[in-house]
Amino acid sequence: MRLWFLLAIAAMQSAVLYGGEVIIEGQQASYAGKVIELATFADPFTGKDTILARCTVDTAGRFKAIVTIDQPQLLYARLGTFKGYLHAEPGQKYIISMPEWQDLSPADKLNPFFEPTEFQFIIENDTNLNSLNKRILQFDTLYFKQLARFTRPRTINKDSLNRAKDSLLKLVSDDAPAFFKEYVTHKIGL
């Protein structure tokens, strides 16, 4: 019993030790004076979000936000007609590229079904080919290509569907981060 208690304490401490600040910076002149809010989903089922950081863009279009997280997490920002996202890891600094600001049209503001155009932020300082965001982008590209193949026809060959699933699972190497492994598993629906 004591061993389980000590293991539980150690697990909680390791979560705290691996947590840390995430710095997100960027520059886009068209955002000058705008307020950028970085959020994450508090409840993915209802779409409710939690704002983790709020910053005002300076007159040159530069901004810097600092977020404290304890594990890899999906962060996003609503940017007029756009919604940009990235998967942040504790202790990392991300310099992101953003599209030109586009205000919502009066019709979009009144439309209860309006959804912003989603995109994954380009991380300018990410040179690691095995970074979490690059892995997810590569996987999503192949996943949606496979998904399109199997959602168009009226009948699906089960063997070819299983081969497609297996080819996607081969993208997950043994040294892949646990967050990425879980992402792939949930995306494929295993």
In a domain, 4, yes or no: no
Tell me, what amino acid is at 67?
Answer: V
- 138 and 104 in one domain? no
In a domain, 140, yes or no: yes
CATH of the domain at 43: 2.60.40
Judged by average pLDDT, the poorest of 20-24, 112-116, 170-174 is 170-174
- 161 and 184 in one domain? yes
- 136 and 118 in one domain? no
- 114 and 159 in one domain? no
Residue (of 110, 47, 37) closest to 78 by Cα position:
37
Count other Cβ atoms within 10 Å, centred on residue 149: 13
In a domain, 9, yes or no: no
In a domain, 60, yes or no: yes
Q: What angle (nearest 5°) sits at the alpha carbon of residue 25, between those of residues 137 and 67?
A: 85
pLDDT band at 21 (very low <50, low <70, confident <90, very high): very high
> What DSSP line would sit under 92-134, residue for residue?
-EEEEE-PPP-PPPHHHHH-TT--PEEEEPEETT---TT-HHH
How far apart are alpha carbons 143 and 137 in whole angstroms? 10
pLDDT at 22 over 90: yes
- 112 and 165 in one domain? no
- 114 and 78 in one domain? yes
In a domain, 1, yes or no: no
pLDDT at 9 over 90: no
Residue (of 139, 26, 129, 133) closest to 77 by Cα position:
26
Higher-scoring residue by pLDDT: 12, 33: 33
Note down the domain range covering 138: 132-188
- 141 and 184 in one domain? yes
How far apart are alpha carbons 130 and 173 in whole angstroms? 10
Domain C-terminal end among 123, 145, 172: 123
Sheet holding 117-120, edge to edge: 48-56, 35-43, 73-79, 82-88, 117-120
Summarize pLDDT for 116-166 with one digit per residue, the tens: 999 999 999 998 988 999 999 999 998 888 888 777 666 667 777 777 788
Summarize pLDDT for 37-81 with one digit per residue, the tens: 999 988 877 778 899 999 999 999 999 999 999 999 999 999 999
Domain C-terminal end among 123, 150, 167: 123
- 92 and 159 in one domain? no
